[in-house]
Amino acid sequence: MTGDITGKQRMETTLSFREPDRPPHFEVMFELEEEAFGRRFPDRNAWAGMSSREKELAVRECMDIYRLIVDRYQWDALSIYWPWSDPDGIRAAKKEFGDEILIGGMCGHGIWSIEVITDWTAFAVNLIDDPAAVHEEAETMCQRALSTIDTLAEAGADLIYMPNDIAFNANPFVSPLHFEEFIAPYWKRQVDRVKEHGLYAFIHTDGMIMPVLDQLIDLGAHCLQSIDPMAGVDIAEVKRRTSGKLALMGNVQCNLLQDGPKEAIEKSALYALEHGTPGGGYIYSTSNTIFPGMPLENYEFMLDVFHDFNRRGRESQDISE
């Protein structure tokens, strides 16, 4: 960590809508570990078949890579993505990092969302003809998520990250009225359960969220991640509506990090920082994840922009004092 403040303290400061020494930074996932360190996370499909000893070694390998990521890129939090939704990963990360940074666990597929629907025609018909069936499946997903939240909390998580994509680039995948009936109540129960455990609740969705933004705010979560500029979501407007109520994370445009040019990456990064940072309540990150195929140099350039922004802020403060 840099300075006298830990990453955990930096996160807690911004989540309470106060400005820390700099905006916190971490990414939901970093999947360029081979490019950055010549190391590989265990195959995501291999966890289910591992023996106890194999899993212990695999978790240790994950922690070694997480340590490299956190130290090199000065992350202030880490939501354990391998192993996914696994208390063993949380326990190992808490042992590795202690109170240096906030440690989180993943809890997805908890509500009706784009990634859980396999038969779109049946889903659309049931919204009108059989709403009870839609509610029944929503309850089943919610109960599984609540159980996962309890398990991760008992393992020592500081935050629960709930990824559920509920919007395409043009609009949410259901109407605001259907969102209010079939999605929001179940997601709110999960947010409430996280808060009952005394943890931070992070929610995620890509896409055009503006028609349901007020409902997302009303969930009562601590932080909303993505703030998707590819869908036309303007962080300046979202910040205006969420300030003091819901912290924001993200907004640096992922397709620019994929394709460049660097001038466009810098413009996107600075827009996010300039509009997200004032008054706290902002965590610097991409609008999605550091995914396979993204040029590592572009992520590192995004961080160069971040460090320059923070340095200018410190210099300005020194001059004013």
Closest to 229 in 3D by CA, of 260, 247, 256, 262: 256
In this prediction, residue 313 has a pLDDT band, given cuts at 50, 70 and 90, of confident
81 belongs to a structural domain: yes
Residue 45, in any domain of the structure: yes
Residue 266 lies in a domain: yes
Rounded average pLDDT over 165-194: 98
Please give the pLDDT value at position 169: 97
Mean pLDDT of the chain: 96
Interstrand relation of 102-106 and 77-80 (parallel, antiparallel or unpaired): parallel
Q: pTM value?
A: 0.96
Q: Where are the beta strands (DSSP E) in the chain?
A: 77-80, 102-106, 159-163, 200-204, 223-226, 247-252, 282-286
- Mean pLDDT along residues 289-308: 98
- When pLDDT is averaged across residues 276-284 and rounded to a whole number, the result is 98
pLDDT for 317? 62
pLDDT given at position 119? 97
> What is the pLDDT averaged over residues 72-80?
98
Residue 59 placed within a domain: yes
Closest CA to 203 of 185, 215, 191, 189: 191
| pLDDT attached to residue 43 | 95
Residues with Cβ within 8 Å of residue 77, at least 6 apart in sequence: 7, 8, 11, 24, 26, 101, 102, 103, 104, 158, 159, 283
Q: Is residue 1 part of a domain?
A: no
Check whether 320 has a pLDDT greater than 80.
no
269 belongs to a structural domain: yes
Instruction: Show the CA angle centred on residue 258, arms to residues 252 and 262, nearest 5°.
Output: 70
Residue 319 pLDDT exceeds 90: no
- For 309, the enclosing helix (H) or strand (E) is helix 296-320
User: Tens of pLDDT along 208-233?
Assistant: 999 999 999 999 999 999 999 999 99
Determine the average pLDDT of the residues in 249-264: 98
Q: Give the CATH number of the domain where residue 43 resides.
A: 3.20.20.210
Average pLDDT on 277-288 reads: 98
Please tell me the predicted confidence (pLDDT) of residue 318. Answer: 58
Q: How many other CB atoms are there within 10 angstroms of residue 61's CB atom?
A: 15
Q: Which two tokens stand for residue 29?
A: 């996932």
Q: Pick the range with the lowest mean pLDDT from 187-196, 265-274, 312-321.
A: 312-321
Q: Please count the structural domains in the chain.
A: 1
Decide if 2 is inside a domain. Answer: no
Q: What is the dihedral of CA 204, 311, 262, 282, to 10 degrees?
A: 10
pLDDT band at 1 (very low <50, low <70, confident <90, very high): very low
The arithmetic mean of pLDDT across residues 121-128, rounded, is 97
Residue 2 has what pLDDT? 44
Range 76-98 average pLDDT? 98
Domain of residue 140: give its range: 7-320
Predicted confidence band of residue 197 (pLDDT cuts 50, 70, 90): very high
Model pLDDT, residue 260 = 96
- Using CA atoms, how far apart are residues 312 and 74, in angstroms rounded to an integer? 18
- What average pLDDT does this structure show over 42-63? 96
Asked, for residue 120, whether it belongs to a domain, the answer is yes
Q: How far is CA 274 from CA 21, 145, 280, 313, in A?
A: 15, 35, 11, 11
Confidence tier at 315 by pLDDT (50, 70, 90): confident
Mean pLDDT confidence for 46-55 = 95
